[in-house]
Amino acid sequence: MKITILGSGTAVPSLERNSSGILIQNQGTNSLIDCGYGTLHQLLRLKITYLDIDRIYFTHNHPDHIYDLVPLLFAGRYPGAPREKVLEIVAGPGFRDFFDGLLKAYQGWLTPRTYAINVIEQDEEIREYDGLNVTTKKVNHLPISRGYRIIDQKGRVAAFSGDTDSCEAMVELGKNADLMVLECAMPDEQKIEGHLSPTPAARLAQKAQCKKLCLTHFYPPCDLAGFRDIVEREYTGELFFAEDLMEFQL
Ligand SMILES: [Zn+2]
Ligand SMILES: [Zn+2]
């Protein structure tokens, strides 16, 4: 599977770092992990349109992880290029209520006319989607938050935290993974609850023994110049700092 970081940024709008979104391409399918604002534009840079997305796995429903779902649904109603294929949405328990509320708030303007949406609430379980084996566990951010472990047909493993603080569940999701994409929202000295910073992120990754670690979701105080030294004190695998449109071929 091929993994592309669409947004390495956060809730704070930035021209350098789009808000959260990751593209997973595998055997002709395009899936997203989160779809924060600007994600659809980032996809266009890869020549992928909103119509090409088969499935979205949401880690949680904060706007910087979810908000481009609104233009995706609205554009899907455009009669010049109506969406026909099913859109599948996978998210933690409680998402269906949130989604119904969103459709209601827009009074029908997001509701599909030419295609179906299949919302799947996945709690802490394993399911298969188009040949990908997907494990979810509750991570330490919001009650709805779920982290993902995705295994492709060749046995390659990728793990995605969304937003999280330190937690055993994320260690398990990232266990021996070929790649773990882990949030690192703030520097150690400004760490806030519900998010990671370099030292706890490095400890989590070392415990998981993931082969490659990609840190992402950097708020403006993050000065990456000092981060590598801090992380490498604890983590001995291969380390990447996400940039928009960075790719991993697993
Ligand atoms: Zn969040
Ligand atoms: Zn976030």
Q: What is the CA 201 to chain-centroid distance, rounded? A: 16
How confident is the model at residue 74, as a pLDDT?
Answer: 97
162 CA to middle of ligand 1, Å?
Answer: 7
pLDDT band at 190 (very low <50, low <70, confident <90, very high): very high
- The ranges assigned to domains in the chain are 2-247
Where b means 16+ CB within 10 Å and e means fewer, 182-209 reads bbbbbbeeebeeebbbbbbbbbbbbbbe
Instruction: Give the number of whichever ligand sits closest to the CA of residue 184.
Output: 2
Instruction: Give the number of whichever ligand sits closest to the CA of residue 10.
Output: 2
Mean pLDDT on 49-58? 98
What pLDDT is stored for residue 122 in this prediction? 98
**Tokens 């595998």 found at:** 26
Ligand 2 centroid vs 29 CA: distance in angstroms? Answer: 25
**Looking at domain 2-247, which of 1.10.3660.10, 1.10.274.10, 3.60.15.10, 3.30.70.890 is its CATH number?**
3.60.15.10
Catalytic residue among 52, 54, 64, 123: 64
Quick: pLDDT tens for 99-127: 999 999 999 999 999 999 999 999 999 99
62 alpha carbon – ligand 2 mean position (Å)? 7
- Residue 176 confidence (pLDDT): 98
Among all ligands shown, which has an atom nearest to the Cα of 12? 2
pLDDT confidence band for 229 (50 / 70 / 90): very high
Catalytic annotation present for 64:
yes
The average pLDDT across 65-77 equals 97
Tell me the CA–centroid distance for residue 40 and ligand 1, in Å: 19
pLDDT at 204: 98
Tell me the C-alpha to C-alpha distance, in Å, between residue 54 and each of 6, 29, 49, 90.
16, 6, 11, 11
pTM more than 0.95: yes
Band (152; pLDDT cuts 50, 70, 90): very high
Mean pLDDT of the chain: 97
β-bridge partners, 149: 135, 159
Q: Can you spell out the DSSP letters for 226-248?
A: HHHHHHHTT--SEEEE--TT-EE
> Contact, 97 vs 119, CB < 8 A?
no
> What dihedral angle (degrees, nearest 10) is formed by the CA atoms of 186, 57, 127, 194?
20
pLDDT band at 148 (very low <50, low <70, confident <90, very high): very high
d(CA 62, ligand 1 centre) in Å:
5
What percentage of residues in the chain have a pLDDT greater than 70?
100
* 174 and 135 Cβ atoms separated by less than 8 Å: no
